[in-house]
Amino acid sequence: MRLTVLGCAGTFPGPASPCSGYLLEHEGFRLLIDLGSGALGQLQRHVGLLDVDAIYISHLHADHCIDLVAYSYARCYHPEGMAPALPVYGPAGTAKRILHSYEAPPLHGLEDVYDFREVPPGTREIGPFTVTAVRVNHPVECHGLRVEAGGRSLVYSADTGESDALVGLARDCDLFLCEASWLHAGDNPPDIHLSGRQAGEHAARAGVRRLLLTHVVAWTDPQEVLAEAVEVSGCPTELASCGATYAV
Ligand SMILES: [Zn+2]
């Protein structure tokens, strides 16, 4: 499978990248994971505006989901006609959150644009992908995802503080796309995000083959985050880069 980073800035868009958005392709199927602020623009640098087969939203913080509102206009009012309803997987409350962001009170339900599928953690098939979701350690329901296809595996941490569930999910995976929002410090708030060092520790505990750091917040020096992770990860480790494509 192939991963393209549409956005990897943490919390708010940075000068070099929109917020979270990842395009996963395999056998012609295109799965978007998260669609945060600005990621829709980047999508169009890589595939046609309508050439998406499914979306999985990890959680309902705006930096991971809010471009679903913008994308609804693109699918609803496209000059070639309204696109078929697009499956959108996400945690409980996904439909309500997006509908109320679109307009309040919601008059037009967007049901013709999106086929909302609110799902609990668990394993399901999405196109050629087997997708396993576990709840990670964040203030709202947030799904870490393991995506498998063609004998390869990618694990996405989504947003999380330290999480044994994430270590289990990432066990022996080929590519671990892990958040590293900030630098390690004793006074970081717990149960929200990982530091570079903690991302590296999770990678080492899970025995992953390759670590890709993402969700670095723009006021944090990414090279320092990378240095923290490299020290402990025990595997090839790099920073995710907006627009970059990775063979998994
Ligand atoms: Zn979040």
What pLDDT, on a 0 to 100 scale, did the predictor assign at position 109? Answer: 67
Residue 229 and residue 193 in contact, taking contact as beta carbons nearer than 8 Å? no
Distance 81 CA to ligand 1 centre (A): 34
Centroid of ligand 1 to alpha carbon of 2 (angstroms): 24
Is residue 227 within 8 A of residue 197, CB to CB? The reply is no
Say what the pLDDT of residue 37 is: 97
Per-residue confidence (pLDDT) for residue 134, from 0 to 100: 98
In the reported structure, the alpha carbon of residue 208 is separated from the centroid of ligand 1 by a whole-number distance in angstroms of 23
Report the pLDDT value the prediction gives residue 103, as an integer from 0 to 100: 82
List, as one string, the DSSP characters of 18-82: -BSEEEEEETTEEEEEEE-TTHHHHHTTTS-TT---EEE----SHHHHTHHHHHHHHHHS-TT-P
> Sign of the C-alpha dihedral, residues 107, 112, 113, 117?
positive
Rounded distance from Cα 78 to ligand 1 centre (Å):
31
Identity at 206, one-letter amino acid code: A
pLDDT number for residue 243: 98
Residue written as tokens 């995000």? Answer: 193
Q: Which residues are CB-neighbours of 151 under 8 A, at least 6 positions away?
A: none
Q: How many CA atoms lie within 13 A of 168 on its CB side?
A: 8
- Tens-of-pLDDT digits for all 248 residues of the chain? 999 999 999 999 999 999 999 999 999 999 999 999 999 999 999 999 999 999 999 999 999 999 999 999 999 999 999 999 999 999 999 999 999 898 877 766 688 899 999 999 999 999 999 999 999 999 999 999 999 999 999 999 999 999 999 999 999 999 999 999 999 998 999 999 999 999 999 999 999 999 999 999 999 999 999 999 999 999 999 999 999 999 99
CA of 202 to the centre of ligand 1 (A): 18
d(CA 142, CA 199): 17
pTM over 0.75: yes
Name the 3-class secondary structure at 15: coil
CA angle at residue 192 from 148 to 203, to 5 degrees? Answer: 40
- Rounded Cα distance between 219 and 198, Å, is 19
Q: Which residues contact 44 (CB under 8 A, 6 or more apart)?
A: none
Distance in Å, CA 37 to ligand 1 centroid = 13
pLDDT confidence of residue 17: 97
